[in-house]
Amino acid sequence: MLSDARLTAVLERLDTDDAADLLGKLPEERLDRLLRRASPEVRRNVAGLLTYPEDSAGGIMKTEVATAPATSTVRDVVDYIRKRADDFHDVNDVFVADAQRRLVGRVPLRALLLYDEDAVLADFMEPEPVSVEVDVDQEEVARMFEKYDLLALPVVDALGRVVGRITVDDIVDVIAEEATEDILKLAGVGEESIATGGPLQAVRSRLPWLAFNFVTAALSAFIIAQFEETIAEVAIAAALMTVISALAGNAGTQTMTVLVRGIALGEATGADTRRLLLREGMASFISGALLGLSSALIVYVWRGDLRLAFVMGLALLINLQVSAAVGTLVPLLLRGLGLDPAVSSSVLVTAATDWGGFFVFLGLLTLML
């Protein structure tokens, strides 16, 4: 709704990362038109940022970065920042670079207040500071901020030259964005937005996974149909098998959620498969034993049928083991195939626990009969 003249004036006052984000949401024709109206400095910096993937370090960095040679004094750096005050709204660090702009050190703003004006940066800078290359994914950048408790992170190109910096306010946005994305994918609704998307967008994002769920539910019905005679003989089995599948499905979703979060935080990898299976297997065995014993006792008191009570308890124990294995392996398998482990893992896990629950319970009951 804003005119090109008004929007260009806004762009001139924004940090380069925010200007790039704004332009990235506009139609390409208007983006080009606004860049032509902008000052040469804004045009150069913002156009450069738009060439990076939006979810990379280059895509979220700002080009306003305070750099100085190691031979500079505190007085030199303070004068430099004062002269470019409009560019540095949130200076946390001065990055020390050599003649080729390669990163060699870091000087926190606090140090400039503590050292004498004639002190040389090389004498008190932090050498070899943590940095990130422009093509690193934003999730990895967020993990670096968490690991090193950073307020700002220098971004370098393939030659180690300083090209920008990422500040903690950008990482807060990244964390919220990635968490929202994972939650939506776990539920199988893609990148649907309730704020901007209409009903057709909701249908497009949900229908494919609902159709897949329809297929898995049909397979569950097929499994149940194979035990029609057993259900006819023990009618209460139709009610009890839903309890087993529901408990196992919930247990599998719990395991899967912990695994997806662990993968996102870098705490779970393919090399940890055995450890994770043992951990989740032991947890589900203990839970299954307690729930199985309780359910068997309830069924026996309710129906007075020892065989049915035994099958109920054993099937619950077995299916919780299945849920632990599936909830662990599905996210790791998706990650191993190069797919996002958050992409509707819940549909796959729920389907597997339903199949396992119906087959194990009805199969054991058939054998007992």
For the stretch 69-86, pLDDT in tens is 999 999 999 999 998 887
Comparing 58 with 262, which gets the higher pLDDT? 58
pLDDT score at 154: 96
User: Which segments of the chain belong to CATH 1.10.357.20?
Assistant: 198-368
Q: What is the pLDDT of residue 146?
A: 87
Q: Which residue has the higher pLDDT, 85 or 360?
A: 360
As a whole number of angstroms, the distance between CA 11 and CA 34 comes to 9
- Cβ neighbors of 163 (< 8 A, separation 6 or more) are 58, 61, 63, 65, 134, 155, 156, 157
Query: Does residue 267 have a pLDDT over 90?
Result: no
Question: HEC states along the chain?
Answer: CCCHHHHHHHHHHCCHHHHHHHHHCCCHHHHHHHHHHCCHHHHHHHHHHCCCCCCEHHHHCECCCCEECCCCEHHHHHHHHHHCCCCCCCCCEEEEECCCCEEEEEEEHHHHHHCCCCCEHHHHCEECCCCEECCCEHHHHHHHHHHHCCCEEEEECCCCEEEEEEEHHHHHHHHHHHHHHHHHHHCCCCCCCCCCCCHHHHHHHHHHHHHHHHHHHHHHHHHHHCCHHHHHHCCCHHHHHHHHHHHHHHHHHHHHHHHHHHHHCCCCCHHHHHHHHHHHHHHHHHHHHHHHHHHHHHHHHHHCCHHHHHHHHHHHHHHHHHHHHHHHHHHHHHHHCCCCCCCCHHHHHHHHHHHHHHHHHHHHHHHHC
Q: What is the per-residue pLDDT across 5-25, written as a single tens digit (0 to 9) for each? A: 999 999 988 889 889 989 988
pLDDT at 152: 92
CATH class of the domain defined by 198-368: mainly alpha
The pLDDT of residue 90 is above 90: no
- pLDDT recorded at residue 72: 96
Q: What is the pLDDT of residue 136?
A: 95
> Confidence class of residue 192 from pLDDT cuts 50, 70 and 90?
low
Mean pLDDT value across residues 138-156: 92
- Kindly state the average pLDDT of the residues 313-326: 90
- The percent of residues in the chain predicted with pLDDT above 90, rounded, is 41
Res 31: pLDDT: 92
Q: What integer pLDDT is reported at residue 75 of this predicted model?
A: 96
Q: Which of 54-68, 220-234, 331-345 has the lowest mean pLDDT?
A: 331-345
Tell whether the model's pLDDT for residue 270 goes beyond 70.
Answer: no
pLDDT tens digits, 236-252: 888 888 888 888 888 88
CB atoms within 10 A of CB 101: 17
| Average per-residue pLDDT for the chain | 86
Mean pLDDT of 256-285: 79
Q: What is the pLDDT of residue 184?
A: 64
- How much is the average pLDDT of 253-279? 77
Tell me where in the chain the CATH 3.10.580.10 domain(s) lie.
67-184
Q: Which residue's entry shows tokens 């494919």?
A: 208
pLDDT for the residue 61: 94
Of 14-23, 178-187, 258-267, 334-343, least confident by mean pLDDT is 178-187
Report pLDDT for 343: 60
What confidence score (pLDDT) does residue 203 get?
75
Q: Is the pLDDT score of 165 beyond 90? A: yes
Which of 64-68, 159-163, 196-200, 251-255 is least confident? 196-200
pLDDT score for 194? 53
> How does residue 196 score in pLDDT terms, banded at 50, 70 and 90?
low
Q: Would you state the pLDDT for residue 298?
A: 94
CATH architecture of 67-184: Roll (3.10)
Higher local confidence (pLDDT), 200 or 215: 215
Q: What is the mean pLDDT of residues 27-49?
A: 90
